[in-house]
Amino acid sequence: MTMPLMRPKRKNPVLRTRQMNLPPWQRSRVALGITAAASEGRFELQQCEDCGAVQYPPREACHKCLSPRLHWREQTGEGELLAVSTLHHSNDLFFRERLPWRLGLVHLDAGPTLMVHMHGEVGDAPARVRVGARLDRAGQAVLIGFPKDGSAHMADDKMLREMTSDPKFRKVLVTDGKTPVGQAVVRALVAAGADIVWVGHAEPWKNFGGLEDITALPQVSLVPLDLTNERSVSQLAGAIGGKVDIVVNTAEVHRTFGIGARRGTDVARAEMDINYFGLLRLAQEFGPALKGRSADGATGATAWVNLLSIYALSNFPPHGTFSASKAAAHSLAQCLRAEMRPAGIRVVNVYPGPIDDEWNQHMPPPKLTPQALASAIVKALRDGVEDVYPGDVAQEWLERWRDNPKVLERELATNGG
């Protein structure tokens, strides 16, 4: 059974500071299919369309019939643990800092035999286990053997915590606390065990509903943060940037209408100023601070969360300029992910469908509640995924977009979804 994680001691300035070393990250192009699925929380392997064989490692052709017709299929991961070995020495710089490290050989019910990292609650062979795919600190998929029935503290496993960004005992910045979504995220992070939650407040002279409730929580502190003001972002980064472990950017401006229904560019500028340029200002100031603390022990800097929108994938004309600003933020977030990956910082992009708020009043159900969105964000941090599409609408749009983006564009243009 995994022992509950204890609150880490304060860092000893006399001891050496561990530098970030990434685990081996080289993968073939075909093997990135496992990573693509793991980034959304799925474990997939190649399956032959002709003979039905499931295979690992990934190849260009079926290992049984040599057919090139291979497709990725989600797996249950159920299998039998054949053997366990503990690594006490490694020439790899990443693993040398983390020894001993347990490995296991698992024969899946689906057919293949895999070498996997072992969760601490898995005992000796033989035993039934469940294999899952997770992203490591280099952003590549690795396979982990989990116990069939785990304890309540499974997430505190030392090896698993290296693969995830669990908020427990971590310090988090939520950039905007005036919205229902921001307030729900704050409550969810506190419930998940966050040590400190700083909540950005751009207009402290205004009394927004719900702020008093979240500031009454002992873990929560309001901080001045206006993403339209470069000096405001810079000053806050100077004050707390060296302490933040997770940034959750919930700040956004959402207005309806497209191009022809509103004259001028003032509203579009306001959307871009927060949704795109706000993210850029935040990344320029807080990004280097997070990268500098990414190897700082069990509670080192670990993740960056962006609240985007499913509209970023294909423009929703009734919310046209908002969709465009989120598409720009989506592209910028991909750049941020590439720049943060060498430091082991995971960038999590969240693409919700319509949220049940004031700007989606005329949208018919189903709509995503702020509480459901907040739960999805915390779950993404705990599971170590990169891309999250919470809600029925987001899942449906994603499936249609992957099937044929041009068809989805035409459908949205003719009937609004």
The residue behind tokens 């966050």 is 194
β-pairing, 113-118 with 78-87?
unpaired
Which residues lie below 8 Å from residue 235, measured CB to CB, with a gap of 6+? 224
* Structural domain contains residue 119: yes
Q: How confident is the model at residue 1 (pLDDT cuts 50, 70, 90)?
A: low
Do 145 and 245 lie in a common domain? Answer: no
What is the pLDDT, as a whole number, of residue 156? 83
Do 276 and 392 lie in a common domain? Answer: yes
Question: Which strand ranges, in their side-by-side order, compose the sheet holding 171-174?
Answer: 220-224, 196-201, 171-174, 246-249, 303-307, 346-350, 387-388
Q: Which of 163, 185, 210 is the last residue of a domain?
A: 163
CATH code where residue 272 lies: 3.40.50.720
What is the pLDDT, as a whole number, of residue 158? 86
Determine contact, residues 151/193, Cβ cutoff 8 Å: no
Do 235 and 378 lie in a common domain? Answer: yes
* Structural domain contains residue 24: no
Q: What is the pLDDT of residues 348-379, one digit of tens each?
A: 999 999 999 888 888 888 999 999 999 999 99
pTM for the model stands at 0.92
DSSP for 388-405, please give it.
E--SHHHHHHHHHHHH-H
Within 39-157, residue ranges assigned H as helices are 93-96
CA–CA dist 282, 249 (Å, integer): 9
Rg for the chain, CA atoms, rounded: 22
Residue 42 belongs to what domain range? 32-163
Please state, rounded to an integer, the average pLDDT across all residues of the chain: 92
Of the candidate ranges 55-59, 133-137, 146-150, 222-226, the one whose mean pLDDT is the lowest: 146-150
* Structural domain contains residue 27: no
CA–CA dist 45, 55 (Å, integer): 7
Burial letters for 159-181: b for 16+ Cβ neighbours within 10 Å, e otherwise? ebbbbbbbbbbbbbbbbbbbbbb
CA–CA dist 314, 105 (Å, integer): 43
CA–CA dist 124, 140 (Å, integer): 27
Of the candidate ranges 37-41, 176-180, 299-303, the one whose mean pLDDT is the lowest: 299-303
Within 87-216, residue ranges assigned H as helices are 93-96, 158-163, 180-191, 211-215
Q: What is the pLDDT of residues 14-70, one digit of tens each?
A: 776 677 788 888 899 999 999 999 999 999 999 999 999 999 999 999 999 999 999
In angstroms, what CA-CA distances link 241 with 39, 252, 289, 305?
27, 21, 6, 16
3-state DSSP of 353-367: CCECCHHHCCCCCCC
Do 132 and 196 lie in a common domain? Answer: no
* Structural domain contains residue 1: no
* Structural domain contains residue 7: no
Q: What is the pLDDT of residues 259-294, one digit of tens each?
A: 988 888 999 999 999 999 999 999 999 999 999 888
Do 157 and 175 lie in a common domain? Answer: no
Q: Which of 109, 136, 163 is the last residue of a domain?
A: 163
Q: Which of 112, 146, 163 is the last residue of a domain?
A: 163
Do 87 and 206 lie in a common domain? Answer: no
* Structural domain contains residue 3: no
* Structural domain contains residue 20: no
Do 218 and 152 lie in a common domain? Answer: no
CA–CA dist 230, 372 (Å, integer): 32
Do 42 and 113 lie in a common domain? Answer: yes
Do 215 and 249 lie in a common domain? Answer: yes
Do 130 and 191 lie in a common domain? Answer: no
Determine contact, residues 157/119, Cβ cutoff 8 Å: yes
What is the pLDDT, as a whole number, of residue 188? 97
What is the pLDDT, as a whole number, of residue 265? 93
Determine contact, residues 80/97, Cβ cutoff 8 Å: no
Domain count, the chain: 2
The residue behind tokens 């899942």 is 395
Pair of tokens at residue 105: 């050989």
Do 63 and 183 lie in a common domain? Answer: no
* Structural domain contains residue 361: yes
Which residues lie below 8 Å from residue 321, measured CB to CB, with a gap of 6+? 255, 257, 258, 259, 267, 268, 271
Do 264 and 336 lie in a common domain? Answer: yes
Q: What is the pLDDT of residues 87-115, one digit of tens each?
A: 999 998 888 888 999 999 999 999 999 99
CA–CA dist 306, 286 (Å, integer): 13
